[in-house]
Amino acid sequence: MTEVDRKVEPHEGPLVRRHLLIRGRVQGVGFRIFLADQAIKVGVTGYVRNLEDGRVEAALEGPRDAVDRVAAWCREGPDMAHVSSLEVTDDDPTGDREFAILD
């Protein structure tokens, strides 16, 4: 179920997609909401969600520089977060048109 879906303006040019697994104190600190705001500001689509094991998972799709900027933000996160590790892998773009915060 989707809590928040936010439309993102269509991209032009080549897209990349990255899958992120973020570990540390990343749940209960607004990480998903702040990440969604960062992504939407720079035109990145995809999703973010909490995992049962305490990690946050995200998929970021958009222009390479925008995706890299959001992924770099994830190394720090919001003020109350403490990121102990960030795992990033490349995926094939899927054509997402919005950014979703998932349950």
With contact defined as beta carbons under 8 Å apart, do 48 and 80 qualify?
Answer: no
Residue 50 among the catalytic residues: yes
SS3 annotation, 1-24: CEEEEEECCCCCCCCEEEEEEEEE
Q: Which of 25, 50, 55, 69 is catalytic?
A: 50
| Active site positions, annotated | 32, 50
